[in-house]
Amino acid sequence: MNSVKSDIKDINLADFGQKKIDWAGHLMPVLNLIRRRFAKEKPLEGITIGACLHVTAETANLMLTLTSGGAKVALCASNPLSTKNEVASALVKNHEISTFAICGEDNKTYYSHLQSVLDFHPQITMDDGADLVSLLHQEKKDRLREVLGSSEETTTGVNRLKAMEKNGALKIPIVAVNESDTKHLFDNRYGTGQSSIDGIIRATNILLAGKTLVVAGYGWCGRGVAMRAKGMGANVIVTEVNPIAALEAVMDGFRVMKISQAAKIADIIITATGNKHVIDSNIIDKLKSGAIIANTGHFDVEIDVVYLEKAKKAKRTLRDNLEEYILKTGQKVYLLSSGRLVNLAAAEGHPPDVMDLSFANQALACEWIIKNKGKLKNKVYVLPKRIDQTIARLKLRATGISFDSLTKGQRQYLGSWQEGT
């Protein structure tokens, strides 16, 4: 216990947190298989991993997988509002994992927690949003040469890292876990779909049936939210800037229009774009009075909360994660989770069953970085297809689902060109 460092809310929450970790673990069979193999083979022996992730029960199971592989791990939060304090407590008290995360921490504390993780001199870093890598490159340049590589969980982080690569600023190899099919096709779509609806409902207790719900952005996350909202009876409108995604949304059966039009009729708008000021002052001014606005993108930049604050006459908190703004115009606007990702702040994030796939990728990314030590360039890599497919196979097997394989004749046919009509 002596070498364990921490800054957490309350160590006495450990029993409660442990039960959550156990339940989530029970729903993460692929990660459990990896954990058992790691325990035997110790592929991460002697490696220190610094992780900046949402501190949830699912993340705790990833941390336990990494430590079973022989790694020493230090963990901080990747968002000030997503930490589950009881989980942080269990990690420290029951598992001796150094953890720096308090739900509701201010920005200064958030960054001091990142610094605390970097003080462990990690050889591998793990990010959800690229804040740790960004800090390493901007303030801890001397530590960069100690780093073998880093893995990145989310679309926003991958975008930042690709921008660094393009600018020649990237000084370490990156594995873009988000680019694995077993990550974005499942976590971003089904995970964000379900957990964002969960967050909206927990914050407001509204009935979705019959409501006009606008989804800004039709990437994998937006698709998931639109699909699930439709399933609950909402009239879903999609807004997009990409003509192909807009066309897909139309053919998936959604109305597509400009956000400036949608704002006038929306009961609920949820942003899932990864971009800034999607709900800006113009859109806020157009909102129907009583509209609920929420964000499920990584950073709290999609809604211009600064404008909302300036435009308000009064504000009050009605429920956890639900603030009523009465604007000088007389409009009422309801903001969820201060514009931070509603699925993690107001609910529990993606369910364990889907984080099983994402975190299997994360664990195997660490192993891959170590196996390829000295061979990797300072660029953004995707895990080999073989690993992606193994994760899918293991998940299917764990779920008791069998599927077909090609016959020899079919394999030959697919590789041939002579046979036609």
Q: Is 317 helix (H, G, I), strand (E, B) or coil?
A: strand
Min CB(60)–ligand ADE separation in Å: 9
Nearer Cβ to ligand ADE (21/238): 21
Interface positions, 337-376, toward ligand ADE (CB under 6 A): 344, 349-350, 355
Q: Which stretch binds ligand ADE (CB under 6 A): 49-57, 135-143, 155-163, 405-413?
A: 49-57
Tell me the per-residue interface mask from 380 to 409 with ligand ADE, x by CB under 6 A, - otherwise. Answer: ------------------------------
Instruction: Cite the beta strand spans of 104-192 per DSSP E.
Output: 124-127, 149-152, 174-176
- Tell me if 58 contacts ligand ADE by CB under 6 A: yes
Q: Which stretch binds ligand ADE (CB under 6 A): 6-14, 50-58, 318-326, 378-386?
A: 50-58
Say how far apart CA 323 and CA 321 lie, in whole Å: 7
Min CB(405)–ligand ADE separation in Å: 33
- Tell me if 156 contacts ligand ADE by CB under 6 A: no
Instruction: Provide the Cα torsion 356, 127, 113, 307; round to 10°.
Output: -100
Nearer Cβ to ligand ADE (153/304): 153
**# of chain residues touching ligand ADE (CB under 6 A):** 10
Q: Which residue in the set 32, 56, 180, 182 belongs to the binding site for ligand ADE (CB under 6 A)?
A: 56
- Tell me if 294 contacts ligand ADE by CB under 6 A: no
Instruction: Provide the Cα torsion 263, 266, 268, 274; round to 10°.
Output: -40
CA distances to 18, 62, 132, 179 from 4, rounded to whole Å, are 17, 18, 20, 33
- Tell me if 86 contacts ligand ADE by CB under 6 A: no
- Tell me if 54 contacts ligand ADE by CB under 6 A: yes
Nearer Cβ to ligand ADE (54/93): 54
Q: Which residue in the set 59, 89, 239, 337 belongs to the binding site for ligand ADE (CB under 6 A)?
A: 59
Measured distance between the N- and C-terminal CA atoms of the chain, rounded to whole angstroms: 71
Amino acid, single-letter form, for residue 330: G
Say how far apart CA 261 and CA 280 lie, in whole Å: 14
Q: Are the C-beta atoms of residues 295 and 216 closer than 8 Å to each other?
A: no
Say how far apart CA 326 and CA 318 lie, in whole Å: 13
